[in-house]
A and B are shown apart, each in its own frame.
Chain A
């Protein structure tokens, strides 16, 4: 038995060492960087720990950072809500035993597996007036044909539409799996007691779905911070700073203005939020949950 345990340690160690090198070391380095005013253009700012918390003190006073939090909040809220509603609707629709529907299900996953850059290009094509088939259809119906991505009021909604399209297959898959393992008895019982379709859904199906919905929403919330390629290709954070989400703002500060110290501080804040949500997932649902 002792020998067996030793073999396992040998099998595990290389992976854990590499994992620590590529994940823990960068986290530590990121944290250190966030305590410096590191500016790539000024060599003197390397390892300058004179005012370690300066970046974090500056953050709440930075209007553009606060704006980015607001953008991120709206982006996350609307995309996750959209994905939940569309995914739930589609899951209820596809939750029938049928060969045809099973074949169709597989095709619904395509948006979510596409390279994000391709998703961004797809929607850039649909929202750019020069080439937009969408605008042509609106024109046929004598409706206004806006320049979606250049219009301050429409740019963020356009990105939300693209993101909902990209990720509703995820909520669809998760909720469909939950629906399929739902026990049939309570639904039958409610039917026999004379409950209509809506009542069965509202009082039986929805409560049973709740845990799956909570987990799905948490996963999507965490991932919603990563809408980078959509913003980069579709709007570049504009017009103005209307679509400049926190992640994108950190990218600009770090890799356009070379202010890596400040950018690291923003990243630490975002990372803390991610960690908190991951912690909630692990605590609430344990390390593994069967959804099938």
Chain B
């Protein structure tokens, strides 16, 4: 009996140990980049690397005095507004999909999944051509619209599964009391959907914020986004490692915080709601 207990305890210790090593290996690359942002370029390239060094915020000061500050603001504006518009259009639609029996939900699922999964280049070409004609190249609105290609379907699909989870008995009671469908939605369902709305909004924000490809193809200078602005620190004369590290750290910070907040729903968001996580 006691040898069985010993074996189990040893198995537990072993799995804890291996998990710790795996976690360290997983996080090391991120932390390594973050510490470069606190070093001068000379220090960053020194081997053996200094474990103890006097951290400097010079890189952060430098990037926010240059064009990067503007691009960071651009990224914020576009990500927030595409989230708002996507939610405004998508949430009512998701409610209708959840409560009405339209009967063609499989075909819609395929549509949503395909647009979500389509390689960005397939959208980039027609949007690029249309934007040249419409004068939307290098504009914030142009990016806002193309981000709807993935965010609108994401909102519809994620919110639908959230609404499916809210019991209809409350709504039916209100309807018997004479409330119309719109009133029921606004007064009963929406107030109960807070966590679902917050989670979905965070996903929209993160997907827009993380985009690199569309921003690269559809902007030049005025509508520069933060992920593309980083590329400007990679010159022929050499890479400005410290600034690259600082800019990358700034870009990943909000995403990491948000992601940890919605980690329970990560699967649902990344599979466009096709799987409930």
Docked CA distance A18–B148 (Å): 9
Contacts between chains A and B (CB distance < 8 A), count? 269
Docked CA distance A216–B49 (Å): 39
Do A274 and B117 touch (CB < 8 A)?
yes
CB-CB contacts of B144-160 with A at 8 A, as 1s and 0s?
Answer: 01101100110010000
- Decide yes or no whether B260 CB sits under 8 A from chain A: yes
Q: Residue on B with the closest CB to A139?
A: B47
- Decide yes or no whether A90 CB sits under 8 A from chain B: yes
Do B122 and A30 touch (CB < 8 A)?
yes
CB-CB contacts of B102-143 with A at 8 A, as 1s and 0s?
Answer: 100110011101110111111111111110000000000000
- Give the shortest distance, in Å, between B43 (CB) and chain A (any CB): 11
Chain A residues with CB under 8 A of B122: 26-27, 30, 267-268, 270-271
A33, A113, A133, A289: residue with the most chain B Cβ atoms closer than 10 Å: A113
Chain B residues with CB under 8 A of A274: 114, 117-119
Main SS of chain A's interface residues? helix
Q: Which residue of the partner chain, among A15, A106, A173, A228, contacts B277 with CB atoms under 8 Å?
A: A173
Kindly state the interface size class of chain A when it binds its partner. 35 or more
- Give the shortest distance, in Å, between A54 (CB) and chain B (any CB): 17
Do B93 and A11 touch (CB < 8 A)?
yes
Q: Which residue of the partner chain, among A7, A121, A291, contacts B33 with CB atoms under 8 Å?
A: A121
- Decide yes or no whether A41 CB sits under 8 A from chain B: no
Q: Which residue of the partner chain, among B23, B32, B276, contacts A108 with CB atoms under 8 Å?
A: B23
Do B117 and A222 touch (CB < 8 A)?
yes
Docked CA distance A195–B146 (Å): 55
Do B129 and A90 touch (CB < 8 A)?
no
- Decide yes or no whether A152 CB sits under 8 A from chain B: no
Chain B residues with CB under 8 A of A116: 210, 212
Count of B interface residues, CB-CB < 8 Å? 97
Chain B residues with CB under 8 A of A279: 110
Do A117 and B121 touch (CB < 8 A)?
no
- Give the shortest distance, in Å, between B136 (CB) and chain A (any CB): 13
Do A260 and B129 touch (CB < 8 A)?
yes
Docked CA distance A104–B260 (Å): 12
Do B256 and A113 touch (CB < 8 A)?
yes
Chain B residues with CB under 8 A of A15: 89-90, 92-93, 152, 156
Do A291 and B212 touch (CB < 8 A)?
no
Chain A residues with CB under 8 A of B227: 115, 117-118
- Decide yes or no whether B190 CB sits under 8 A from chain A: no
Do B259 and A255 touch (CB < 8 A)?
no
Query: Contacts A100-B16, A289-B274: A228 and B213 contacting too (C-beta < 8 A)?
Result: yes
Do B266 and A173 touch (CB < 8 A)?
yes
Docked CA distance A275–B118 (Å): 8
Q: Residue on B with the closest CB to A197?
A: B11
Docked CA distance A14–B148 (Å): 13
- Give the shortest distance, in Å, between A12 (CB) and chain B (any CB): 4
Query: Contacts A8-B96, A121-B33: A110 and B119 contacting too (C-beta < 8 A)?
Result: no
- Give the shortest distance, in Å, between A260 (CB) and chain B (any CB): 6
Do A260 and B89 touch (CB < 8 A)?
no
- Give the shortest distance, in Å, between A157 (CB) and chain B (any CB): 16
Docked CA distance A113–B267 (Å): 12
Interface residues of A (CB under 8 A from B): 3-5, 7-9, 11-12, 14-16, 18-19, 22-23, 25-27, 29-30, 33, 90, 93-94, 96, 100-101, 104, 106-118, 121-123, 125-126, 128, 130-131, 133, 136, 139, 165, 169-170, 173-174, 177, 215, 219, 222-223, 225-226, 228-229, 232-233, 247, 250-251, 254-255, 260, 263-264, 266-268, 270-271, 274-275, 277-279, 281-282, 285-292
Interface residues of B (CB under 8 A from A): 12, 15-16, 18-20, 22-23, 26-27, 29-30, 32-33, 36, 44-45, 47-49, 89-90, 92-93, 95-97, 99-100, 102, 105-106, 109-111, 113-115, 117-130, 145-146, 148-149, 152-153, 156, 161, 180-182, 185, 206, 209-210, 212-213, 216-217, 227, 230-231, 234, 239, 241, 244-245, 248, 251-252, 255-256, 258-260, 263, 266-267, 270-271, 273-277
Taking A12-B96, A279-B110 as given, write out 13 further A-B residue pairs in contact, using a Cβ cutoff of 8 Å, ordered by the A residue number. Answer: A5-B100, A8-B100, A104-B23, A110-B259, A122-B33, A131-B44, A165-B29, A232-B212, A250-B119, A254-B125, A255-B124, A267-B121, A270-B121
User: A-B pairs with the 6 shortest C-beta distances?
Assistant: A15-B93, A113-B259, A29-B126, A26-B126, A8-B96, A8-B100
14 contacts between A and B (CB under 8 A): A12-B93, A23-B123, A26-B130, A26-B149, A29-B126, A110-B259, A111-B29, A122-B248, A128-B239, A260-B125, A263-B121, A263-B125, A268-B122, A282-B109
